[in-house]
Each structure stands twice: as C-alpha cells, then as structure tokens.
Amino acid sequence: MRSDKIKKGLERVPHRALLHATGLTRKDLERPFIGIATSFTDLIPGHIGMRDLERFIERGICYGGGVPFLFGVPGICDGIAMGHLGMCYPLALREIVADTIETVCNAHQLDGIVCLTNCDKITPGMLMGIARLNIPAIIVTAGPMLSGRYKQKKLAFVHDTYEALAKAKKGDISGEELACLEIEACPGAGSCQGLYTANTMACLTETMGMSLPGCATSLAVSAKKRRVAQDSGERMGELVRKNIKSLDIIHKKSLENAIIVDMALGGSTNTVLHLMSIAHEAGIKLDLETFDKISKKTPHITNLEPAGTHFMEDLEYAGGIPAVLKRLKSKLNNTMTVSGRRIFNIAREAQIFDEEVIRPFNRAYHKQGGIAVLYGNLAPNGCVVKQTAVSPKMMKFTGRARVFNREEEAMQAILGRKIKKGDCLVIRYEGPSGGPGMREMLAPTSAIVGMGLSESVALITDGRFSGGTKGPCIGHISPEAVGKGPIAILKDGDIISIDIPQRKLEVKLSKAEIEKRFKSFRAVAPKIKTGYLGRYSKLVSSADKGAILL
C-alpha cells in the first residue's frame, strides 16, 4: 500500500506516534488509508447537504475495510459570484482544488480517495487532481436540487431569477411576483435544477466511469443519494485491493464517451474547458475539433432547462444516465467504470421510463449535438456556442457591433434599453488572462432573454457562459483580446456575421484593415495584477487549450 511509506518500519516510529494521536489503533495501521475530499460549505446550496453524505461515505469505507480521513476543499457558488468581481475566481478555483487533492494525498501517501463534490468548477478540479495522482478514486456528486413551485408552476434558478429580473425591469411581471420567485426558485439543497455546468459535469463524470451508476441524477435530498455515497465508500476497498487507478478509467475512449453524452444532453459549454483540462492532466491530447466532430454525429435527445422544459428530476425519473447510455449504446465505447461494470453492461440493464425526456434518434430534438465550434477572422483559434439553445431564426445572424470592455458596461446598456434589434454585443477583456478568470456572462445573456431580445440580438465574448445561457451567445473566442486576438480591434458599428451551420464567425473587415488597426493597437492590461489572480493571469493558457496553467 502507498500508505506503508508513512506507517511501516522502524524509521516511521514518529509517524505512527502522530497517527495514533488522531485516535488510530494498531489494527487501523494495517488497513488502507482512504481520503475523503469534501467540499462542504454553508455558502453553496449544492454543498450544504454534504455533512450527511460524508457520514455515509465514511461508513462505506469502513465496511470496505479502509480507514477514512476527511479533509476540506474550498468551494465557490458560481451563482452568488456572478456579475461582479467574484466571478473572476471560480475557473481559477479549479486549479486550487486540483492542487489541494494532489498536495494532501501525496503528503500523506493516501491509498485512495473519494471526492465529494457538486458545483461547477469543483468537480472538474477534483477530476484533474485524481488524474494527476493516478491512484484509486471515486467521485460522488451531491445531486440536483428539486424544482421550485409558484402557482403550481415548476421553477428553475436561471429562468425564474436572472431572466425574471429583466422582465421586472421591463414591466412584464410585478414586484410581488418577483419577490415570490426569489424565495421559491431554489427550494433547498442541491445543484441548480437544469443542465447547467454542475449537473452537466456530474453526468459526464458518471459517463466516463468515475462515479457509480445512478450517481449523477439522484437527487440531493434522496435516500438513493445516501446509498450511492455509502456504496462509493465501500467500493473504494475493492479498487485499492485490485489497484484500479484513475487512469485505468480516464482515458481517450472514456473521454470520448463523455463528449458524446454531453452533445446528446445539450450540456454547458464550460465542459469544453473542463474535459480538455482533465485530458491534459491525464496526458491525453484533446482539441476543439474533436468536440465539433462528435457533435455533428450525435443527435440531441433531451430537452432540459435552460434551453428546454425538462428538469434534472425528470431525467432522474426517466432512468438517469444509465438510460441515456442505453439510448446511445451504438455510439459509445465499451469502457470500464469504477463500479467494475462496463458501459455496455450498464446500458443493457438500464430502462428508459419516459420516451419524451430521453427521445429515440428518429425523434431527436436536434439532429446535431449541443455544442458547435466556430472559426473565422474573429476567432482564428476557435470559439464555442451552445447551438441547441439557439432559435432557428438566429442560427445565421448579421449585426452591428456594440463593443464593451467589461461585463458590467454591457449589463448597464441592456437594462438601460440601449441595445436594439440587430445589435451584436461584444464583451472583451474577459478571457482567461485578461479577465482574469474568464468570467461567465449569465447576467447579460439572461437580461437579453428577459428584455425580449433573444431572437434579434447576439453576444460574443472572449469570456464564457454559464450552462444557464441560451440564445446566440458565442464564447471562448481565441485568441482573447489581451492576447491580441482580433476581437481586440473591433469598433462600434463593425458588421459581424455569425453562421452556426457553417461554423463561421467573421467581422466584415478586409485583411488590410485588420492589420492597420493592429498597428495602433494597445491592449488593455488585465484588471487584477496582485494576489492569486495576478499569478493566475500570467500562467493561464488560452481557452482553446482548456485554460490550463502552464
């Protein structure tokens, strides 16, 4: 066992003394040491129920013959961080989480680890950490939130808060109704109810084999989630005994499976960054072209919030990710999972309980998958759009540039009714380095929808979008503005052309004019130059590389 390095031999007398000080018995020293990396915090709705799940994971580890050790991992709620300085931190947090996993596990030579996670950047951070370590590992995601209720109508976080505030500004709903939505939209523990980044990553984690079957969609408040937590802890004993490591599960074919399911579900565009970063830690080459190639061959078979009408609870009751695997079996690789069962075996035994929530291919919601990758003179290295969340009327769009150097300026213009039909908002200097931290633009995109402009206005940015974004919103433009990407030389009134079917993003400027503008170009410096974000800004790569630290 790895842990023998800290507990076996004469020279480890001091180490054993410290271990005994924690309450361990001599018998405990003969058992595997299993870490529980918990991201419990009172600050994140998706994480407030983790104290309960920690108990069940601990119990499972003991049943499996191991000794559990809890340690904390920091967490951020993207929704609370949204729309202000706080949003510079979540993507950067991903690296802190990965580094924490690596540091604690290697410093104490743990034999395996169960990662308890849920929300947006914490899950990929934990996957990056366990890929880097390559030790036995399991991910437990804490589960989706139940839908809210208002006058018998189901409520979801983004639609009934971010979009609702713009509707209130416009006068479409009353202040009284807005106050009711505010208190009812998020009724308790769990990750936000739609296919936003947290739930998308949970689904992809289960798909790539790093969570037990049924983990992703089992609801935060359910007894089923407790059983999954306990089973995950118990399963760790077998993984350690058989020395089944994280990179036995995470490899090229399992990542391809994750992309296929991502496209079929219509998940968050953030997954492009996260899967590429996980691949990087695993030593696997994964590029933007792979996502687009798979998307073109994968039908979109679910219609989940925010682009659709179903909720994560509907996907759970329709059969969860095992049912999705059953539907997609002919397209998937037969990879191994931490459960000891292969994907095809899980798919064969699954049942699809609702053919409307998980549609057959001949009734797919869209012929292609959720994400499209665009290129052109505005994005030489690529950019991404959640094409299944775009109205057919806006799949091709030509508009006038309205240029803003930060999100807050654009938000003021939208709510101030200064954005008109035919405008294309450009929000730049929000990339991985320039932001720094590549802020999510959920507030302006939701405001566009709430103001009734989603079928007449587009938005492009070198920042990124929440899984809650819908409409013609194109992010991850690479190179970013601070990296002298063409987005940096745009001016108000420039004509921008978006053609999602043809995968094109262009500004109607000649090559000579672009070169002329660059001659007088002076980049805006990153907004934060000190502290962690100052260091992050200097080290982070472009979005088309996964915004990894170099």
The predicted structure's pLDDT at residue 496: 98
The predicted structure's pLDDT at residue 471: 83
Least trusted range by pLDDT, from 84-88, 224-228, 338-342: 84-88
pLDDT band of residue 401 (cuts 50, 70, 90) is very high
The predicted structure's pLDDT at residue 163: 80
pLDDT at 493 over 80: yes
Mind listing the domains of the chain with CATH numbers? 31-146+194-349 (3.40.50.2300), 372-538 (3.50.30.80)
The predicted structure's pLDDT at residue 130: 98
- Tens digits of residue pLDDT in 29-51: 999 999 999 999 999 999 999 99
Catalytic residue flag (residue 456): no
Number of Cβ within 10 Å of residue 348's Cβ equals 12
Least trusted range by pLDDT, from 86-90, 265-269, 451-455: 451-455
Cβ neighbourhood burial of 417 (10 Å; 0-12, 13-18, 19+):
exposed
**Is the distance from CB of 77 to CB of 96 less than 8 angstroms?**
no
- Tens digits of residue pLDDT in 124-163: 999 999 999 999 999 999 999 999 998 888 988 877 887 8
* Beta pairing partners, 438: none
**Is the distance from CB of 485 to CB of 462 less than 8 angstroms?**
yes
Least trusted range by pLDDT, from 24-33, 114-123, 441-450: 441-450
C-alpha to C-alpha distance for 28 and 148, rounded to whole angstroms: 45
Q: Does an H or E element contain 382, and which?
A: strand 379-386
The predicted structure's pLDDT at residue 443: 86
User: Which one, of 405, 425, 401, lies nearest residue 524 by Cα?
Assistant: 405
C-alpha to C-alpha distance for 40 and 23, rounded to whole angstroms: 23
Least trusted range by pLDDT, from 338-342, 412-416, 520-524: 520-524
Of the residues 277, 466, 497, 542, only one is catalytic, namely: 466
- Tens digits of residue pLDDT in 237-265: 999 999 999 999 999 999 999 999 999 99
The predicted structure's pLDDT at residue 527: 84
- Tens digits of residue pLDDT in 337-386: 999 999 999 999 999 999 999 999 999 999 999 999 999 999 999 999 99
C-alpha to C-alpha distance for 30 and 541, rounded to whole angstroms: 44
Q: Which ranges in 300-393 belong to alpha helices (H)? A: 312-317, 320-328, 343-349
Structure tokens at 446: 């939701």
State the number of CA atoms in the 13 A half-sphere of 211 facing the CB.
34
Strands 495-499 and 504-507: antiparallel
Structure tokens at 96: 């802190």
The predicted structure's pLDDT at residue 245: 98
**Is the distance from CB of 323 to CB of 299 less than 8 angstroms?**
no
The predicted structure's pLDDT at residue 1: 94
The predicted structure's pLDDT at residue 547: 97
Mean pLDDT of the chain: 95
Strands 137-141 and 458-461: unpaired
Residues 451-455, mean pLDDT to the nearest whole number: 89
User: Which one, of 340, 335, 114, lies nearest residue 242 by Cα?
Assistant: 340
The predicted structure's pLDDT at residue 526: 82
C-alpha to C-alpha distance for 277 and 91, rounded to whole angstroms: 11
The predicted structure's pLDDT at residue 525: 83
Least trusted range by pLDDT, from 5-9, 97-101, 168-172: 168-172
